[in-house]
Amino acid sequence: VGDPVPLVLADGSIHRAETLTAAAIEELVRWARPQHRPDVAAVAVPAHWPDRMVGALRAAVPHLRVVSDAAAAFTALQTNPGLPAHGVVALCDFGATGSSITLADADHGFATIGETVRLDVFSGDLVDRAVLQHVLAGLDVDPASTSHVASLGELRNQCRAAKERLSVETATGLVHGRTAIRLTRHEVDTLIAGPLEQFIEALTGMLYRHRIAPAQLAAIATVGGGARIPLVTQRLSETLRRPVITTPYAQVAAAAGAEMLAVRGAVYEAPTTSAPALVQDPTMAAALPLAWSAETVDLAAAD
């Protein structure tokens, strides 16, 4: 998104990335709400995106409010289960392709402190690969063999599902061909301990760069699919000695918060006043028209 070099599709057609993204968002909303378009809506974008990318997407979806996923996550967590009203809160977002850290000042409406830091050392994809490799090590399978491509794809899906089950169970099972495989939470914890420690070191380093001692943190907030992993909460709490706040629906916290911000924006927007922003973040949209328009995205062209 925001790259001046367009994408060339298989049929030879040329499209800007933000145009395709806008079309995908439109199609997703039509699937989710086929009978009635929402009167207001928002889309959360990665907090580490530069202004160039945010501006490009905002121009492509003028009917949406574009907000930082960090701002959206703070909004969702503040609503439920609640966040401290004072002090600094560190938001750790554990996503599929990477993780990010955002510091915010609760005393000033969760205004962000510095820039969001994006990290590749710990991610859902990394955990999935580690679990798959661990399971394969106990099987008589050659991953490079083309004859095993389909079965490996299924095994990869099973490993991902097993990892998610181990967030609430201590042991689970998989099946590969005629072989039953037992996988335990302890095994997964051992696999991810190293990358997780690297993430915590990055968080600690970020705090000290901003001259914030861990003891000065009011809380650590976690969102994203990785926030559901028990070891993540355990190691953050043990290392930083601060309360860790999350939600059972951490993987959709940003989406839930974006919806709240869209509704709040619609309530407060007026021609003579600015909509109050919960977080003073550069990716927070200015007052934008929020009514849906079928003409804003050319799906036929995108297809």
pLDDT digits (tens, 9 = 90+) for 161-212: 999 999 999 999 998 878 899 999 999 999 999 999 999 999 999 999 999 9
Query: Highest mean pLDDT range out of 15-24, 58-67, 146-155, 232-241?
Result: 232-241
Please list, in sequence order, all residues whose beta carbon lies within 8 angstroms of the beta carbon of residue 33, skipping any fewer than 6 positions away.
none
**Domain ranges in the chain?**
1-79+251-270, 124-189
Q: What is the average pLDDT value for the chain, to the nearest integer?
A: 85
> Which residue type sits at 63?
H
Residue 5 reports pLDDT greater than 90: no
Give me the count of residues in the chain. Answer: 303
Q: What is the pLDDT of residues 203-221, one digit of tens each?
A: 999 999 999 999 999 999 9
What does the pLDDT read at residue 299?
33
Q: What is the pLDDT of residues 229-282, one digit of tens each?
A: 999 999 999 999 999 999 989 999 999 999 999 998 755 443 333 323 333 333
CA dihedral 71, 76, 82, 83 (to 10 degrees): -10
Q: Which fold would CATH assign to domain 124-189?
A: Actin; Chain A, domain 4 (3.90.640)
Which CATH number fits the domain 1-79+251-270, given the four candidates 3.90.550.10, 3.30.470.20, 3.40.190.10, 3.30.420.40? 3.30.420.40
Instruction: State the maximum Cα–Cα separation within the chain, in Å, rounded to a whole number.
Output: 69
Mean pLDDT for the stretch of residues 14-36 = 90
Least confident of 65-79, 146-160, 172-186: 146-160
Asked whether the domain spanning 124-189 has the same topology as the one spanning 1-79+251-270, the reply is: no
Residue 90 reports pLDDT greater than 90: yes
Least confident of 15-24, 144-153, 215-224: 144-153
Please list, in sequence order, all residues whose beta carbon lies within 8 angstroms of the beta carbon of residue 206, skipping any fewer than 6 positions away.
101, 103, 114, 117
202-210 long-range contacts (CB < 8 A, ≥24 apart) are 202/101, 202/117, 202/119, 202/121, 203/90, 203/92, 203/101, 203/236, 203/240, 204/239, 204/240, 206/101, 206/103, 206/114, 206/117, 207/90, 207/103, 209/114, 210/103, 210/113, 210/114
